[in-house]
Amino acid sequence: MSVFVSGSTGFIAQHIVNQLLQLDYKVIASVRTQAKADEMTHNFNNPNLTMVVTGDMSQLDAFDPAFKKYGSEIKYVIHAASPVVFDTTDVVKDTLIPAVNGTKGILESIKKYAPQNVERIVQTSSVSSLTTDPETRDPSITANEDSWNSYTWETAQASPADAYNGSKKFAEKYLWDFLEENKDVVKMKATTILPVFVFGPQMFDSSVKPKLNVSVEVINSIIHTPPNGKVRDLAAKFIHVEDVAKAHILAMQRDDLIGQRLILSEGNYNTQDILNYLNNDFPVLKGKIPAADTTALAEGRPSKDLTYDNSKSRALLGFKFKSLKEAVDDTAAQILKHEGRI
């Protein structure tokens, strides 16, 4: 039996595909174009990986041909595809519709072609589904696994960040509501994964480009800031991409994780913490980026953002997340190696 992974070209999804293949699962991975399918086939070079081209999931029937063809052999679905787009002037077309139609479409395809074969679905949601964008910068707020943001389809159109947070809530809520309404028709049970900022290396060194995916670009841009330059003053939370992939697979395998929303956050980071690790751990960067400032350690700094209480998710998952030092060092080592600097 196979695992279907949507959006398999994504930063997170490539790590999910990799860990599944290492565990000897057969993987059917969807991408938008044949060129991307060919690149994935080449990079993974694994006979257990089958690529399928599904096009743009704004089209509600995008996943139909894939489930029509492979539905009888799919037992697990990991729905990781979703737009992560912040440079748009049309948030309805570029963020809200593809996110919601992607979830609607994949669920309808399963209902049509594999209602009794697919046993589990794991959807990549986000902590963005828990609060509004302004609330993420409010230290008086604590969110947990029961939280939902207050966006409506209309208020989510205020900015790309509002649209992203809205899109994650609408898509995740659609999943839970669909399963409740169709519990007599489809066999599958769900778990959702809600990561904070995901750091870590790209699955393949060849994916390192001057500009990287939104979350890793936080570190990439600091590596390329000159010594007298100013880094973006950002305080948020982080998690390592390998932990995110691992959590998806555990969610797919373990019955005790059915019905759970799992918040993946190891802890706080601040752009100065990243500068400190880069300066201390990569001598090649000394004098090439803004200096370390170890007097401003994370613990001593006033909080500038909300708190996620993910004690329930941590206890349920039961494994230790990687540290900020590991996340920053793994990310930077790959970029610097690719640039021939180490």
Distance between CA 236 and CA 197 in Å, rounded? 8
What's the min distance (Å) between Cβ of 295 and ligand NDP?
29
Which residues 6+ apart lie within 8 Å of 222 measured at CB? 231, 271, 274, 275, 278, 289
Nearest to 175 by CA among 6, 314, 3: 6
Number of residues that bind ligand NDP (CB under 6 A): 25
Q: Does 191 help bind ligand NDP (rule: CB under 6 A)?
A: no
List CB contacts of 233: < 8 A, sequence separation 6 or more: 271
Q: Is 124 in the site for ligand NDP (CB under 6 A)?
A: yes
12 near ligand NDP, judged by CB under 6 A: yes
Q: Does 71 bind ligand NDP (CB under 6 A)?
A: no
110 within 8 A of 188, measured Cβ to Cβ: yes
Which among 26, 112, 168, 322 is annotated as catalytic? Answer: 168
- Contact range with ligand NDP by CB under 6 A, out of 37-45, 51-59, 227-235, 267-275: 51-59
Which of 7, 105, 166, 200 forms a contact with ligand NDP (CB under 6 A)?
Answer: 7
Amino acid at site 223: I
215 touches ligand NDP by CB under 6 A:
yes
Q: Is 203 in the site for ligand NDP (CB under 6 A)?
A: no
Which range binds ligand NDP by CB under 6 A, 190-198, 253-261, 289-297, 301-309?
A: 190-198
Sign of torsion over alpha carbons 260, 7, 160, 179: negative
**CB of 236 or CB of 285, closer to ligand NDP:** 236
Tell which one of 50, 67, 78, 98 touches ligand NDP (CB under 6 A). 98
Residue with tokens 């748009």: 88
Q: Does 312 bind ligand NDP (CB under 6 A)?
A: no
Continuous H helices in the chain: 11-22, 34-44, 64-70, 91, 97-113, 160-181, 214-223, 241-253, 271-281, 311-317, 324-338
Stretch touching ligand NDP by CB under 6 A, among 8-16, 181-189, 225-233, 289-297: 8-16
Residue 218 touches ligand NDP, criterion: CB under 6 A: no
Nearest to 316 by CA among 157, 175, 198, 191: 191
Is residue 173 among the annotated active site residues? Answer: no
Determine which residue in the list 41, 43, 88, 213 makes contact with ligand NDP, applying CB under 6 A: 213
CB-closest chain residue to ligand NDP: 10
Binders of ligand NDP in range 232-261 (CB under 6 A): none
**Is 192 near ligand NDP (CB under 6 A)?**
no
* Interacting residues toward ligand NDP by CB under 6 A: 7, 9-13, 32, 36, 56-58, 80-84, 98, 124, 126, 168, 195, 197-198, 213, 215
